[in-house]
């Protein structure tokens, strides 16, 4: 199996990678690059735990073949915060207790980011559709919806 | 995942050449939402060469012509959802696509992939068939256009040759006077595989009689078809609840004549009749 060379940007950092072609974007991120924030759940596109942004659009990284990101931009949950400064959405998830076990959180955040980047003031229905491909088995959906809807609320202190 | 070689041709003519050379050993990769799942199955027979067409921009986009609409195969479900042309001239296709998978799947999955994978539950196929769509296939040997109604052989099998690639889907614009609807029965709202669906188009004359009727069930037959027996019942008639109910029962009867009675028939027999009636009522 011939390796493939790809040029890609992951979390604003440029990479030139030589990879086996039979690798998903999810495995590339977690196992080759060590970005384990993106979670591996069902691996058939049903749970959304592996959601990342590909050129700003939410996709299941388990359903993208790694060589397909040649020339494309990827953003994972690790790319949301700027240094020690959490992204406002991350702050909002904390404020609203929208994180329980945390397994779905990276995917939820990326789906929510895609929504808010294209539609800064979504209705509750639009939020529900935007996260409809992300399963939360702690069933804390309401807090997640609230966190996305009130994402400008400053975090509680202390 | 089993091993394979990978190539992402820059031009479509290179795709034709690769498919001619590798034939059944080649596998086209578009959005990947079906193929990647397939390639990971332990039972999967691995292709020698995966031909990634996902970045061929000439195979992407929706275009309006005077009498018809053209959709290129790499158009994603999200592209269709956001298209004003589709909303105006094929609203039932928009409805169908809005029920496919999840936002992530719709962002990646393509209409061409949905057609070529040819699963019985493919949600873009029945609306396109109701719209009288044609598909264009191209290869090194040339091109041919086939009515979608003649395109499928059985689940997961089309008449496309191993050296051919789908390059366009086109259909006549629905007139403003036509009403169309897609309704789907799934086990939940998001990420639901169609258990049954109905695509229906009704057009009435100035006098209020039904002039044109098209009914295409999804996930109900070994291969998709228009139910002309039920369509004929409707043509020339005044719309009524009883008429629509009779059309629904006819669809149910035709379904059973094809599938026989199997474990799911007890459920599907009354349900498909009701879905047809509801779809026709929604077309009013």
Strands B152-154 and B157-158, sheet pairing:
antiparallel
Pull the structure tokens for residue B205: 């004359």
Q: For B6, which residue in chain A has the nearest alpha carbon?
A: A21
Chain centroid to CA A42: 15
SS3 label, residue B142? strand
What percent of the residues of chain A are helix, what percent strand, and what percent coil, each to the nearest 5? 35, 20, 45
Q: Can you spell out the DSSP letters for B135-179?
A: EEEEETTEEEEEEGGGTEEETTEES--TT-EEEEEEEEPPPTTEE
Nearest to B115 by CA among B53, B161, B81, B157: B157
Domains of chain A by range and CATH? 4-79 (3.10.20.30), 88-149 (1.10.150.120)
User: Which among B52, B105, B191 is the nearest to A68, CB-wise?
Assistant: B52
Provide the 8-state DSSP code for B210: E
Going by C-alpha positions, the residue among A66, A70, A69 that lies closest to residue A23 is A66
Tens digit of each residue's pLDDT (9 = 90 or more) over B72-128: 999 999 999 999 999 999 999 999 999 999 999 999 999 999 999 999 899 999 999
Answer yes or no: is the ipTM higher than 0.90: yes
Measure A115 CA to nearest chain B CA, in Å. 10
The answer, for A65 touching chain B at a CB cutoff of 8 Å, is yes
Decide if A133 and B39 are in contact by the 8 Å CB cutoff. no
Query: What are the structure tokens assigned to B16, written together?
Result: 């034709």
HSE-up (13 A, CA, CB side) for residue B51: 25
Find the helix or strand (DSSP H, E) in which A117 lies. helix A105-118
For residue A35, pLDDT over 80 is answered with yes
| CB distance B202 to B240 below 8 Å | no
Q: How many CB atoms lie within 10 A of CB B208?
A: 8
Q: How far apart are CA A45 and CA A119, in angstroms?
A: 24
CB spacing of A45 vs B33 below 8 angstroms: yes
User: Which residues in chain A have their CB less than 8 angstroms from residue B55's CB?
Assistant: 68, 71
The answer to whether the CB atoms of B8 and A68 lie below 8 A apart is yes
What span, in angstroms and rounded, lies between the C-alpha atoms of B248 and B35?
35
Answer yes or no: do A133 and B52 touch at CB < 8 A.
no
Q: Which chain A residues touch B5 with a CB distance below 8 Å?
A: 1-2, 21
Residue by residue, pLDDT tens for chain B (284 residues) are 889 999 999 999 999 999 999 999 999 999 999 999 999 988 888 899 999 999 999 999 999 999 999 999 999 999 999 999 999 999 999 999 999 999 999 999 999 999 999 998 999 999 999 999 999 999 999 999 999 999 999 999 999 999 999 999 999 999 989 999 999 998 888 888 888 999 999 999 999 999 999 999 999 888 899 999 999 999 999 999 999 999 999 999 999 999 888 888 899 999 999 999 999 999 98
What number of CA atoms fall less than 13 Å from residue B166's CA on the CB side?
A: 31
B57 three-state secondary structure: helix
| Chain A residues whose beta carbon lies within 8 Å of the beta carbon of residue B1 | 22-24
| Distance from the Cα of residue B135 to its chain's centroid | 11
Beta-carbon separation of A63 and B32 below 8 A:
yes
pLDDT over 90 percentage in chain B: 87
At A100-154, the pLDDT tens digits run 999 999 999 999 999 999 999 999 999 999 999 999 999 889 999 999 998 875 4
pLDDT, residue B31, reads: 97
Q: According to DSSP H, which parts of chain A are helical?
A: 25-27, 88-95, 105-118, 124-130, 141-149
Domains of chain B, with CATH numbers? 5-52 (3.30.43), 57-172 (3.30.465.10), 180-282 (3.30.390.50)
Residue B154, helix vs strand vs coil: strand
pLDDT tier, A155 (very low <50, low <70, confident <90, very high otherwise): very low
**Quick one: how far is CA A62 from the chain centroid?**
12
- Whether chain B has a CB inside 8 Å of the CB on A71: the answer is yes
CB contact under 8 A, B102 and A20: no
Distance, CA of B52 to chain centre: 22
Cβ–Cβ below 8 Å for A68 and B32:
yes
- Closest partner residue to B36 (CB to CB) among A65, A67, A132 is A65
A151 inside 8 A of chain B by CB: no
């Amino acid at each position: 199996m011939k390796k493939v060379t790809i040029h890609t940007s992951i979390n604003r950092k440029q990479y030139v990678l030589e990879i086996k072609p039979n690798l998903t974007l999810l495995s590339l991120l977690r196992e080759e690059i060590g970005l384990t924030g993106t979670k591996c759940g069902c691996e058939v596109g049903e749970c959304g735990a592996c959601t990342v942004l590909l050129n700003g659009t939410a996709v299941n990284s388990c359903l993208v073949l790694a060589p397909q990101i040649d020339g494309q931009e990827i953003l994972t949950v690790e790319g949301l915060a700027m240094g020690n400064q959490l992204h406002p959405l991350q702050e909002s998830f904390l404020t609203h207790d929208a994180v329980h076990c945390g397994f779905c959180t990276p995917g939820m955040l990326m789906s929510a980011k895609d929504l808010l980047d294209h539609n800064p003031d979504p209705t509750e229905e639009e939020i529900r559709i935007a996260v409809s491909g992300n399963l939360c088995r702690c069933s804390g959906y309401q807090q997640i919806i609230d966190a996305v809807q009130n994402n400008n609320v400053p975090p509680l202190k202390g | 995942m089993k091993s394979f070689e990978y190539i992402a041709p820059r031009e479509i003519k290179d795709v034709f050449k690769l498919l001619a050379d590798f034939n059944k050993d080649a596998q086209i990769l578009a959005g990947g939402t079906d193929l990647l799942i397939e390639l990971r199955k332990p039972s999967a027979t691995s292709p020698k060469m995966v031909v990634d067409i996902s970045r061929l921009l000439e195979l992407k986009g929706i275009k309006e012509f005077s009498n018809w609409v053209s959709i290129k195969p790499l158009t994603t479900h999200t592209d269709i959802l956001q298209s004003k042309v589709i909303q105006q001239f094929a609203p039932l296709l928009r409805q169908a696509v809005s029920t496919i998978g999840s936002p992530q799947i719709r962002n990646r999955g393509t209409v061409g992939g949905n057609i070529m994978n040819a699963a019985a539950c493919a949600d873009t196929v029945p609306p396109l068939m109701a719209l009288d769509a044609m598909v264009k296939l191209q290869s090194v040997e040339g091109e041919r256009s086939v009515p979608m109604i003649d395109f499928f052989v059985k689940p997961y099998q089309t008449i496309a040759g191993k050296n051919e690639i789908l390059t366009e889907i086109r259909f006549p614009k629905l007139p403003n006077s036509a009403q169309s609807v897609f309704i789907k029965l799934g086990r939940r709202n998001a990420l639901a595989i169609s258990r049954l669906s109905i695509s229906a188009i009704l057009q009435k004359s100035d006098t209020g009689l039904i002039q044109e009727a098209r009914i295409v069930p999804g996930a109900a037959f070994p291969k998709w078809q228009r139910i002309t027996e039920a369509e004929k019942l409707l043509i020339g008639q005044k719309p009524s609840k009883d008429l629509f109910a009779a059309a629904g029962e006819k669809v149910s009867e035709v379904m059973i004549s094809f599938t026989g009675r199997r474990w799911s028939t007890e459920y599907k027999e009354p349900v498909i009749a009701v879905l047809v009636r509801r779809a026709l009522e929604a077309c009013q």
